Structures are given as structure tokens and as C-alpha cells.
Chain A
Amino acid sequence: MRFSGFRVVKEALTGHHGWKPLWRTPAPQASYDYIIVGGGGHGLATAYHLAKVFKGKRIAVLEKGWLGSGNIGRNTTIIRSNYLLPGNEPFYEFSMKLWENMEQEFNFNAMVSQRGILNLIHTDAQRDAYRRRGNAMLLAGADAELLDRDGVRAMYPWLNYDNARFPIKGGLLQRRAGTARHDGVAWGYARGADLLGVDIIQNCEVTGFRIENGRVQGVDTSRGYIGAKKVGVAVAGSSGRVMAMAGMRLPIESHVLQAFVSEGLKPVVDGVITFGAGHFYVSQSDKGGLVFGGDIDGYNSYAQRGNLPVIEEVAEGGLALMPAIGRARLLRAWGGIMDMSMDGSPIIDRTPVDGLYLNAGWCYGGFKATPASGYAFAHLLATDTPHPTAAAYRLDRFNRGYVIDEKGMGAQPNLH
């Protein structure tokens, strides 16, 4: 089934009886060439690219719950490639380029919207840092513009420019950044993978790995044993728990991040604004709700819900920046569990167990990485070599002293 404008009109005129489920519901086979553990954005994108680009056969995605029940359905949907360090920026720019062609490629509307992201500047030191970051972005082939105060005012005249503590002095703008419909991304990759023959198996929790002579043979699941030549793990906030079943300790702590949506408002924020100094960022959904968030709660958690003090803190940050939204009511708040890594950067690598591969440590920024993460992980699974843009994301980089610490916080995951 292909989607097209013609199809939408035809279905509208004939009572929408022609739409079919987007993917099959197969029973697990006895064994596969590749098993991907975790049916979030990264697992699905991995299966899709493995089948499409690397012509892999006999691929299954095993998902504990339903597709989209993890962070892929909980994030605030921001996509951007505005990183500083050489290990990161080429990877995120590769991802940005994949976003730009994604919908045509998998023939599904993921509502990718390049509405721009603006990082606010409040001090001279911050301007220097953002100028440097912008230059790093340009060197990696991304776009970046440094705005002065008037440049920001022309975009968002109603922000609070004269906050005593954080007056707005300018901003770093990436116009190609923006948002995408998070569920649509999962569904698009799931459908694309399914059309290429990938078995997507939901309600199938991996409960153990069978490892013989240092090589993975398959996985035990809630639906029985499934053999595999190669197993790729992409379980986001559960990486520590899942890899413990293979006897590994990771450079990762699991933390909860909350996000919020206001009641629907008239269009007011037409891009993404980040107020890093105030621990607040915001965009507006196409339905009109302000979608916003701040920092992680800051303590180890697997609870998928946070606590009230952070809600208050984020709301205060928002009000400091945008007094105009003071009367808007909060509609919903939720939390997701993320792998916070020891340097704030991800891991895409082999593990000490042959045939077992790990994709983890995405912190609060893995949505934007979805296409490139899937591509690079598929590259690793298929060829046993890292994709050039992901070569720095090694598991042993901490031991070797090659951390990728964008924030310069050191080995303290709750500060990244």
C-alpha cells in the first residue's frame, strides 16, 4: 500500500474502508540472522536500514511492549545538528540530512518540519562559545547563524529581553533544525521495515542471552527461545538492565526526564527556542499546545514518572522567558527513562561477546539521532566496522581516555 495525495482523496470519498494495518503481526520464527532488541525509534530504524541498505535477510525486531511505548513516543520531538565536538557533529549532521529525505524514502508522513532552533545568549562568554559552536557546525557542513539582540527580537518580539539575571543578548540559530512527529517516525520505519520482510514482534520481552564460548547463540524471550547469528541491543533507558543479563556493567545510569504540554493556543512559537541558562526549552505542536521541558530530575530512576519540584522549576524558567504564557494551563506531564552516559554521548559498538552489539547512552537527545543511529548500527551489524560518522562512539573510550564530553561535566551523568 503506497500513500499519496490521490489515495487520501479516494479514501475520503469512499468512507476510509481501504486502509490496511501498516505492518504484519508475525509469530517468532525459530531463528534469525539478525535480532534487534527494542522496538523504539533506533531499533526500527536499524532494522529498516539493515534490510534496505545492507540487504540483510531474516531480521526480527523484538519489542517488550507495543511499538512506541518507550521514549520514541515520549520525547519533545526536536531534531537538530548543533553540536560542537568532532566526534559528534558529523554524525548529527548526517542524521539531519537523513531527516530531510526520510519521508520520500519510506513513503510516510513523519511531519518533519524544519522550523529552526534558536539557542539564546545572555553573556559575552556565551556568545563566544556559541560563535565557536556555530563555526564547528559550518565546518561539518551544517548551517548556523549568529543573531544579535535585534535579530532575536525580529523573530520573537514578545520574549522577556530585560530579565535582570538573564537579559537576551542574541542567539545561535540553526534554520534546518526543527521538529518531527515522533510516533510517525516509529510507524514509518516499522512499515518500511515490514515491507522489506522484517518480522516486528511486539509483546516479546528478551529475558536472557544464550552465550556459548564467548559467542551469542540467541535470546530467551517471554515467547520462547529465538536463535540468532547476531543480536543488536537498542533498548534506550533499559540498557543497563538488559546488558546485565549478558554479564556487562555499562558506563550508564538510568534517569527520568519529564516533558509537558499546555492547552492549545493560537500560533505563537513558530520555531524551537532553548533557554539553556533557565533550564527550559519550548516549541508549539501543530495542534497548538506548547511542548516544553527542562532538565532531568537528577537521580537514578526507572519509574517513567518524575516529581513535582522539577515541574515547578521548568514552569518558572518558562515564565521568566515568556511572561505572556502565564495564564496558559498545563494539560499533561509525563516522564521517560533515559540512559545517561558518563560523558553525555552515545555508544554504538561491538561488545566483548561475539555477535552481540550495543546501541545505547542517548541521554535526552536520541530522537534527532534516530535515522543516523539506525543507519550506523545497521552498518556495524552488517559489516562489523563502524560507520565513519559514528567511529568515535566506542564502548571502551572511557577506559582509553577518549570521552566525548560536550558539556565538560566529567563522569557525573545527572549533570550532562
Chain B
Amino acid sequence: MLIPHPLLGPRDAQEFTYLGDASLLNRPDGLADTAPEAFNDYVYLRDNPAGLHRELWFHEQGDRSWLIVTRNTVTHEILGAELARDVALAAMGGAQ
């Protein structure tokens, strides 16, 4: 699998380590009343879809950036990659 790194171009997936579903970026509020349940869902439960999956890959043997890769779990086709930092900042309403 080749991952289209937004800064470095196509890189072999072997250079990356895999973490999992990109929903891991959305860490719940630890001070909310519902924190225990929210953290159970966050840490343990997954959508685990057959089809498109947005997932976190770390370019460990490259520029050490975290990417969000969109990949089809049925065909292994990779449809795109973004810097996780950009996505997280945008979600917080910060710098694009």
C-alpha cells in the first residue's frame, strides 16, 4: 500500500505504524459528568466498518507526522491522506 503523504508524496505503508480509527482524535471531556461512559466508548468501542475508514497512521520512519488516511477496508484502496494536525485544528475552529 502506498500512502499519499501531503508533504512527501507517495510513501510505502511500511514506513508507518498504525493506530486505528481517526475518531481517537476526539478525546472526550474528562471533567464532564458523563466522562466514565464517554471514555469507555472512546477507548474500547469501534464502528469497525467494511468500506471507507478514516484512520490514524504515524510516519515513524519518515517525518514523524500523524496522518489521517482514508482507506477502503474491503479493497485496501487508499483514497487520500491529510495531516492529522490540520484536521484537529480545523475541528477546534483554529488555524487552517
Is B46 a contact of A301 with CB atoms below 8 Å? no
Q: Which of B18, B47, B48, B76 contacts A298 (CB 8 A)?
A: B18
CB–CB B55/A299 < 8 A: yes
CA distance A254 to B55 in the complex (A): 13
Measured CB to CB, the closest approach of chain A to B45, in angstroms, equals: 4
- Interface assignment of B75: CB less than 8 Å from any CB of chain A: yes
Enumerate chain A residues within 8 angstroms of B18, measured Cβ to Cβ.
Answer: 298-299, 414
B46 touches A252 (CB 8 A): yes
A199 to B: closest C-beta gap in Å: 28
Q: Mark B1-37, 1 if CB is under 8 A from A, else 0.
A: 1000000000011100011110000000000000000
B interface majority secondary structure: mixed
List residues of chain B with CB within 8 A of the CB of A254: 48, 50, 73
A194 located at the interface, meaning its Cβ lies under 8 Å from any Cβ of chain B in the complex: no
Q: Are B76 and A252 in contact (CB under 8 A)?
A: no
Q: With A301-B76, A303-B76 as given contacts, are A411 and B14 in contact (CB-CB < 8 Å)? A: no
Residue of B nearest to A341 (CB): B44
- Whether B73 contacts A303 by the Cβ 8 Å rule is yes
A213 CB to nearest chain B CB (Å):
24
Q: Which residue of A lies closest to B75 (CB)?
A: A303
A69 at the interface (CB under 8 A from B): no
- Cβ of B40 within 8 Å of any chain A Cβ, yes or no, is yes
Asked if B74 CB lies within 8 Å of chain A CBs, one says: yes
Q: A250: which B residues are within 8 A, CB to CB?
A: 45-46, 48
Q: Is B43 an interface residue (CB 8 A)?
A: yes
Given A299-B55, A300-B55, A412:B48 Cβ within 8 A: no
Say whether B48 contacts A398, CB under 8 Å: no
A300-B45 in contact (CB<8A): no
* A399 sits at the interface (CB 8 A): yes
Give A254 to B46 CA distance when docked, in angstroms. 10
A130-150 toward B: CB 8 Å interface, digit per residue (1/0)?
000000000000000000000
Indicate whether B59 reaches chain A with its CB closer than 8 angstroms. Answer: no
Contact A300 B43 (CB under 8 A): no
- Chain A nearest CB from B68 CB (Å) reads 13
A300 and B44 form a contact (CB under 8 A): no
Residues of A near B76 (CB, < 8 A) are 301, 303, 307
Let me know if A251 and B20 touch, CB within 8 A: no
The secondary-structure label for the interface of chain A is mixed
Taking a contact as CB atoms closer than 8 A, the residue among B44, B45, B50, B75 that contacts A241 in the complex is: B50
Q: How many residue pairs between the two chains, A and B, have CB atoms under 8 Å in the bound complex?
A: 67
CA distance A341 to B20 in the complex (A): 13
Separation of A250 and B48 alpha carbons in the complex (Å): 8
In the complex, what residue of chain A is closest to B39 when comparing beta carbons? A399
Question: Are A302 and B73 interface neighbours, CB within 8 A?
Answer: yes
A366 contact set on B, CB distance < 8 A: none
Contact indicator A249/B20 (Cβ below 8 Å): no
The answer to whether B40 touches A398 (Cβ under 8 A) is yes
Q: Which of B40, B43, B50 contacts A302 (CB 8 A)?
A: B50
* A399 x B74 contact (CB < 8 A): no
Neighbouring A residues of B75 by C-beta, 8 Å: 303
Nearest B residue to A301, CB-CB: B73
Which residue in chain B gives the minimum CB-CB distance to A403?
B44
A188 to B49 CA separation, bound complex (whole angstroms): 33
Asked if B14 and A251 make an inter-chain contact with CB atoms under 8 angstroms apart, the answer reads no
A332-355: CB near B (< 8 Å → 1, else 0) gives 000000000010000000000000
Given known pairs A302-B74, A303-B73, A414-B18, the reply for A240 and B1 (CB within 8 Å) is: no
Residue A5 lies at the interface, judged by CB distance under 8 Å to chain B: no
Please tell me if the beta carbons of B74 and A303 are within 8 angstroms of each other in the complex: yes
Which residues in B have their C-beta under 8 angstroms from that of A399? 40, 44
CB distance from B27 to the nearest CB of A (A): 14
Bound complex: CA of A251 vs CA of B46, how far in Å? 6
Given contacts A249-B46, A253-B20, A398-B44, 17 further A-B contacts (CB under 8 A): A240-B46, A240-B47, A249-B45, A249-B48, A250-B46, A250-B48, A253-B21, A298-B18, A299-B71, A300-B73, A303-B74, A309-B14, A342-B43, A342-B44, A398-B43, A411-B43, A413-B20
Give B residues with C-beta under 8 Å from A: 1, 12-14, 18-21, 40-41, 43-50, 53, 55, 71, 73-76
- Interface residue ranges, A against B (CB under 8 Å): 240-241, 244, 249-254, 298-303, 307, 309, 342, 398-399, 411-414
What are some 29 contacts across the A-B interface (CB < 8 A)? Answer: A240-B46, A240-B47, A240-B49, A241-B48, A249-B45, A249-B46, A249-B48, A250-B48, A251-B45, A252-B46, A253-B48, A298-B18, A299-B18, A300-B20, A300-B48, A300-B53, A300-B73, A301-B73, A303-B73, A303-B75, A303-B76, A307-B13, A309-B14, A398-B40, A398-B43, A399-B44, A411-B43, A411-B44, A412-B20
